[in-house]
Structure 1
């Protein structure tokens, strides 16, 4: 087992230590630090970005060849960490005990440990891990104008105002594919280095943070109905989203999705409502519309051909729901894009 002790909560110091341990290459560019490695330790990458008001992002995409233990032993006031695992799992403990909490895929987790207490992350070997950490330095964030921390529930208000680090907190909340989708979009931001990229990343990060705070609120108020859907159900619904995409030209119904997943229609509706805040039909329709926009923008297919490609039988119905969603007809949307491109040239 590979073990690493980190004595600072600053991203730059942490990454310097991790680089030494992982024997990787660290590249800094446009405010981002990216560590990549492929060796006997394993293969993968880690990225960190610091934003204003004490907000920072660390994400990793890796597969380790041996178990790794990272112990954070620092006198600093611990950040509040919002953790989301898109793939795999890892374990967490406080005070470096042998009692670990397993943090699960798609589960919204919030942790903060006491000042002077050791925090340990245990990462498994031979497991593909995709993990997103949003870290909030509470003292810096409270200096932000209109931070509105007082509008959070009492648990988080007291945590943000715990300037002495006297409290420990751990929230293992509900499972959310909506957060998983937003994190995927965060990782897919492909704007080249510069202001557009930094703004896109920061905007996505704040959206994810707001969804994690909303999940916490709903969980504490018993609004997520976690007993109504299991982890296995979550994974089945996650697979269904790929199935829907691959069969977008077909007529996808609750009945066909039920047969594909083995979940009852009622369970599907509950799951999509909890995870995506949409019914099954609303989710499928939105996906078809998003794909149609991509076709209108990037292909020469006629509107009738696009309607067929996304599995909608009526062109008039397609125009109607497209207008309801985007406030413009499909033909006008394409004209607008062409005029815009012509003006750029």
Structure 2
């Protein structure tokens, strides 16, 4: 097992030490620092970005060839960490001697450890890991105008106001595919303009943070997933999203999805409503429309060809639902994109 002792809570210092441990290459651009490595320890990428008011992001996509233990041993004030795993798992302990708790895929987790305690993360070998850490330095964040911390429930208010980290806190909440989808969008931001990229990343991080805070609120108020939806059901529904994309040109019915997943139509409707705030048909339609926008923007396919490619039989119906969703007709949207690109050139 490889062990790394981190003696700072600052993202920049953490990354320097991780780079040394993993023997990776560190690059920085537009406020982002990225470590890439491919050696005997494993293969992967880690990224960190610092925003204003004590907000920062660390995300990683990696697979290790040996177990790696990271111990945070510092007397600095620790951040509150909002953790979400979209692939794999890892384990956490308040102290090295404590029993480890497993943090699971799609589960919303919030942790804050005592000031002089050793926070320990144990990352397993052979497991493909995709993990997001949104870190909030509480003293800096409280200086933010209109931080509205008082609107949180009493428990989180006390954690944000715990300026000496006297209290350890861990929330292992409900499973959320909505948060997973937003993280996927965060990781897919591909903008060359430094300012626009930074604003897009920061906005997406705040959206994810708000969803994690909302999940905690719902959890405390007993408004979470009903017992009828298990973690296994959630994983099956998550796999269906890939199936839908791969078969987007087909007429995808709830009967087809029920047969593919092994879940009853009733459970599918309940699951999509809870996880995506949409019915199955609404989710499929919104996905078809998003893919059609990408075709209009990035391909030379005619509107009729696009309609066929996304499995909608009527061009007039496609134009109708596209307008309802985006307040613009498909042909006008394509003209708008082309004109904008021409003006940029």
Q: 1:267 is matched with which residue? A: 267
Q: 2:191 is matched with which residue? A: 191
Superposition pairs for residues 242-253 of structure 1, below 5 Å?
242-253=242-253
Cα distance in 2, alignment partners of residues 344 and 21 from structure 1: 44
2:20 is aligned with 1:20: yes
Q: 1:127 is matched with which residue? A: 127
Cα distance in 2, alignment partners of residues 342 and 195 from structure 1: 21
Superposition pairs for residues 185-334 of structure 1, below 5 Å?
185-192=185-192, 194-334=194-334
2:96 is aligned with 1:96: yes
Unaligned runs of 5+ in 2: none
Q: 1:82 is matched with which residue? A: 82
SS at match of 1:243: helix
Q: 1:173 is matched with which residue? A: 173
Cα offset, 1:344, TM superposition: 4.1
Larger deviation: 309-318 or 171-180? Answer: 309-318
Larger deviation: 127-136 or 324-333? Answer: 324-333
The superposition leaves residues 145-190 of structure 1 with CA deviations (integer Å, 9 ceiling, x where unpaired) of 0111111111111111111211111111111111111111211222
Cα distance in 1, alignment partners of residues 243 and 189 from structure 2: 24
SS at match of 2:196: helix
TM-score (norm 2): 0.96
Q: How many residues are treated as equivalent by the alignment? A: 345
SS at match of 2:9: coil
The superposition leaves residues 88-124 of structure 1 with CA deviations (integer Å, 9 ceiling, x where unpaired) of 1000011212411100011111000111111110100
SS at match of 2:53: helix
Superposition pairs for residues 18-167 of structure 1, below 5 Å?
18-167=18-167
Cα offset, 1:228, TM superposition: 2.5
Larger deviation: 66-75 or 314-323? Answer: 314-323
TM-score (norm 1): 0.96
Cα distance in 1, alignment partners of residues 12 and 226 from structure 2: 38
The superposition leaves residues 70-89 of structure 1 with CA deviations (integer Å, 9 ceiling, x where unpaired) of 11111112110000011110
Cα distance in 1, alignment partners of residues 227 and 95 from structure 2: 31
Cα offset, 1:303, TM superposition: 2.2
Cα distance in 2, alignment partners of residues 178 and 55 from structure 1: 21
Cα offset, 1:226, TM superposition: 4.5
Larger deviation: 303-312 or 237-246? Answer: 303-312
Cα distance in 1, alignment partners of residues 267 and 8 from structure 2: 46
Larger deviation: 44-53 or 255-264? Answer: 44-53
SS at match of 1:12: helix
Cα offset, 1:316, TM superposition: 2.1
Cα distance in 1, alignment partners of residues 220 and 309 from structure 2: 43
Cα distance in 1, alignment partners of residues 343 and 234 from structure 2: 46
CA RMSD in angstroms comes to: 1.4
